[in-house]
Structure 1
């Protein structure tokens, strides 16, 4: 899976996704400080999945109709990185299976899934 992780995505999750063999570019490494608009435009052009903890991406997706291949909104509140990673990996099989074409909120206890709007 190709992912373009927003710079606020948890480093431990980015590393874990890479260890699982996914192609993960991370804005924190490649282009820190990039605007949300620039990140979303890149994900749309290259059909990348967007892992982020930034709520603004939901607005950009649904109001401006900039539609990436999929969005993972990371709302993990566990106290430590190890706990957040544990919660994420519990949800990962379902997230991986369902993220294409969808906006998925990954929370500590569950995930919520909704379809992305059609591309214009």
Structure 2
């Protein structure tokens, strides 16, 4: 069973389409009318819903967030070029990785060239 995901408001809508077309259960902060919500509220909602957060916000890069919340995982897109096209390219490359490597209990930091994995301490 694949994880469920929530897209932060700082990602283009096309990411939602790419993930849904790839068979992922994904919702966005924007379509749920949570735009402008603070980080703690987003973390709480993702934890309640069991959704991995996908964001470009580096405030979520602290692995301790996984310990302090019910959040299943975090994916941070840390791109030098944050254009719509660059984000699309990286997300399209990320999809096969997510199918084979569930991000549960991890923070994935994704850039144009690699995916760094930080695991929650047990």
Give the TM-score, by structure 1 length: 0.83
> In the alignment, which residue of structure 2 is the partner of 1:71?
74
Mapped pair 1:86 → 2:89:
yes
Q: Which residues of structure 1 form unaligned runs of 5+?
A: none
> In the alignment, which residue of structure 2 is the partner of 1:26?
28
SS of the residue aligned with 1:4? strand
Tell me: CA distance 1:11–1:76, structure 2 relative to 1, closer, same or farther (3 Å): farther
Residue from 2, 5, 8 that aligns with 1:3: 5
Mapped pair 1:36 → 2:45:
no
* Shift in Å, 1:7: 0.9
Q: Which residues of structure 2 form unaligned runs of 5+?
A: none
Higher helix share: 1
**When the two structures are aligned, how many residues end up with a matched partner?**
117
Aligned-pair Cα RMSD in Å: 2.0
Q: Could you list the structure 1 runs, at least 4 aligned residues long, displaced by more than 4 angstroms after superposition.
A: none
Give the TM-score, by structure 2 length: 0.82
Aligned partners of 2:5 and 2:51 also within 8 Å: yes
